[in-house]
Chains A and B, each alone.
Chain A
Amino acid sequence: EVQLVESGGGLVQPGRSLKLSCVASGFTFSNYGMNWIRQAPGKGLEWVAYISSGSSYIYYAETVKGRFTISRDNAKNTLYLQMTSLRSEDTALYYCARGATVATWGQGVMVTVSS
């Protein structure tokens, strides 16, 4: 069974940093591009970042470019999102999702940016 399990969320002050992780299982992680997608409370979905299977191609939404860094460790079957200079508008449930076509999602991890 394909599983994606996010972790690393929590309450953080504006301007601080946080690093999310997503551990994958049930498939060959190194064969798939991966995404981070977020959903602010009561709001819609926003694609955040994508990384190709071998990390050659990386793309970001304009709202996070320069502040967030997506990366992966294929030996550990793990996807990461390093978030810096966090703002209140970054408060959201962050999902990792498999593939360029975003077929499979984790359950999400909450990030709250507040003083």
Chain B
Amino acid sequence: DIQMTQSPSLLSASVGDRVTLNCKASQNINKNLNWYQQKLGEAPKLLIYYTNNLQTGIPSRFSGSGSGTDYTLTISSLQPEDVATYFCFQYNSGPTFGAGTKLELK
């Protein structure tokens, strides 16, 4: 199975900060990676698909990048409504999720 390691597990940042979340795969996943946002008590919501494609309706402050085994989700200017847990997900083979990064306001 492909293991997905997210870092950090907890991130505290201020409104307006540029925030970077990381996801590392145990082997090449060929950019077959999505990012999801999950707020408390809600289902996950797709933010980014296939590494760097913004899902319809998602604010442009969210962006994704990466290749091979290393992937990044960036929030260019953190907003209060971005407080949530973020999961990466690889669907290259034997689909697996990362453990999540909990993003909170400082």
A interface list, Cβ under 8 A from B:
35, 44-47, 50, 59, 62, 95, 100-108
Contacts and interface: CB of A to CB of B under 8 A. Distances in A.
Contacts of B45: 105
B24 to A, nearest CB: 16
Contacts of B98: 44
B66 interface: no
Name, among B34, B45, B87, B97, the residue most crowded by chain A CB atoms within 10 Å (CB to CB): B97
A47 B43 contact: no
Interface stretch (B14-22, B74-82, B88-96): B88-96
Given A44-B99, A45-B44, A45-B97, A101 B91 contact: yes
Given A45-B44, A95-B43, A101 B50 contact: yes
Contacts of A101: 32, 34, 49-50, 91
29 contacts: A44-B87, A44-B97, A44-B98, A44-B99, A44-B100, A45-B36, A45-B97, A45-B100, A46-B97, A47-B95, A47-B97, A50-B95, A62-B1, A95-B43, A95-B44, A100-B91, A101-B34, A101-B49, A101-B50, A102-B34, A102-B46, A102-B89, A102-B95, A103-B46, A103-B55, A104-B46, A105-B43, A105-B45, A107-B43
Contacts of B87: 44-45
Contacts of B89: 45, 47, 102
Given A44-B98, A62-B1, 15 more contacts: A35-B95, A44-B99, A45-B44, A45-B89, A45-B97, A47-B89, A47-B97, A50-B95, A59-B94, A100-B91, A102-B95, A103-B46, A104-B46, A106-B43, A108-B43
Q: Which 5 A-B pairs have the closest CB atoms?
A: A45-B97, A47-B95, A105-B43, A44-B99, A44-B100
A46 B97 CA distance: 7
A106 B95 CA distance: 18
A107 B95 CA distance: 20
A101 B33 CA distance: 8
Contacts of B94: 59
